[in-house]
Structure formats: structure tokens, C-alpha cells
Amino acid sequence: MNGYPRFIAVGELALLVEFGDRIDNQLNARVLALAAALNGTTGVSEIIPTYRSLTVVFDPLTVTCIELCERVTLLLNQLPATHLARRRWRVPVCYGGEYGEDLPALAQGHGLSPEQVIDIHSSARYRVYMVGFMPGFAYLGGLPELLHTPRRSSPRAMTPASSINIGGQQTAISSVAGPSGWHLIGRTPWRSFDPLRQRPFLFQAGDEVGFMPITPAEFARLSDKCRAADWYPEPEVA
């Protein structure tokens, strides 16, 4: 792509590497490949991947911005053509009812039944493009175009943690309770963020996510299991 990748200094302590200007699987794969290649680099203190860019926080007493640009340029020319191994999740979701109160209106707005929305949403496979906004909040790309929906005209003051939401061309899993303008269509018994877990964040950029409809009874059973301090879901590795 013309003009990319490009480097932008972010203050005196960070370098932004931009790969493009759109949401795209291949761009995001290059972001994550560079993040992996930079892991452990002397002078680099933090690496923050997003949809289409990578922010590299560095110690200017150890490495200069110019030296880091040179290092990144070298790594970009050496990035593997193959995709990194990714983790696959099948996330149980109780759609509609008390767990997804916006589902009927969203379905009606698209001329679909709630059951059709559930089928479309749970049949797709999604990519975790980035984690941000709230601790452990996973932004998922790959929402079928049939379900693209403008955000709510009136944001909800509080959306429960573990809610499954749709906003624009994206779907997401709320990691903590908070206000939201996205449409609430379901909830998972899984906790995508738990500060007491050994691994507080369940999802990471590059993961593949699929949704599996469950009943309210199954939701209650799995919720009890998830509350156990010594249990958390595990992904498959592709």
C-alpha cells in the first residue's frame, strides 16, 4: 500500500507504526507479526497492537527513536509470510430475553426474526483485532453485513459484564460493566476479564472467536462453574 508502513513519533517515549487505514485481516496479521518480532527487544518496554497499527513504547536512555525505526524497518523486511498460530474459542452465549434485551428490536430493524439473527451471529467466525477501551474488552471483526447496525440513538447507562453487543460493523464481548451505545443481544457466562486470575485477560489480539447458543439453564450451570476460582476456559490452538 502506498505510503505504508509509516512511522510517527508519539511524544518522546513511543513510536507508532501504521500499516494502513482500514480494518483488514492481512494488515492486522502484519501488526501482530511485528509485535511478536519486537518482543524482548532491548529498550522496548511495551507493545500495543491495534487494528492497523502498533505503538512501541521505549526507553530513550537505552534506544533512540531513530535506532528503533531502523530496527523496525529491518524486522519488517524479515516478517514471515505465514500466519502466526492462533487460538480458537467457542464462546457459549445465551441470546435474547433478560440477557439480550435489544435482540427483538435489532432483528425487526433488519427485517429478520430473533432466531435468524442468532443463527447468523453464531454461524460466523470472528477475529480479535485488538483488546482495549476497557480491561480485556475484545473488538471482534467479521460481523456479517446483514447484522451491521448503527449504534443506539440513546446509550444505555449500564451494560452488564460479559454482554455480547453489536455496534456498526463490529461485535464485541463486554469485559466489565459500563455504559454503552452498542446493542445488547446476549450474554456469556465466561468472564473475559478477572483481575484475580493468573491470566486476567481471556482473549488476545489474533484470536479466532465463534459463538455457541445455549439455554438459560445452561447459562446458570456454566456461570456456577466459572465462579470457581480454579477454573477458566481454554482455547484450541490452530
| Residue 207 · residue 88 · CB < 8 Å | yes
Grid cell listed for 126: 470472528
pLDDT at 130: 92
How would you classify the pairing of strands 138-141 and 170-173? Answer: antiparallel
Beta bridge partners of 88: 208, 236
pLDDT at 124: 97
Length of the chain: 238
- Cα gap 122→186, rounded to integer Å: 11
Element (H, E) at 208: strand 208-213
pLDDT at 236: 85
The position carrying cell 507479526 is: 33
pLDDT digit string, tens, across residues 16-27: 999 999 888 889
- Cα gap 121→156, rounded to integer Å: 22
Query: CB-side exposure of 46: number of CA atoms within 13 Å?
Result: 6
DSSP state of 14: E
What is the pTM assigned to this prediction?
0.86
pLDDT digit string, tens, across residues 93-136: 999 999 999 999 999 999 999 999 999 999 999 999 999 888 99
Domains, the chain: 6-76 (3.30.1360.40), 87-237 (2.40.100.10)
pLDDT at 9: 95
Element (H, E) at 218: helix 216-226
| Residue 93 · residue 214 · CB < 8 Å | yes
Grid cell listed for 23: 480494518
Given a cut of 70, the residues of the chain with pLDDT beneath it are 1, 81-85, 229-231, 238
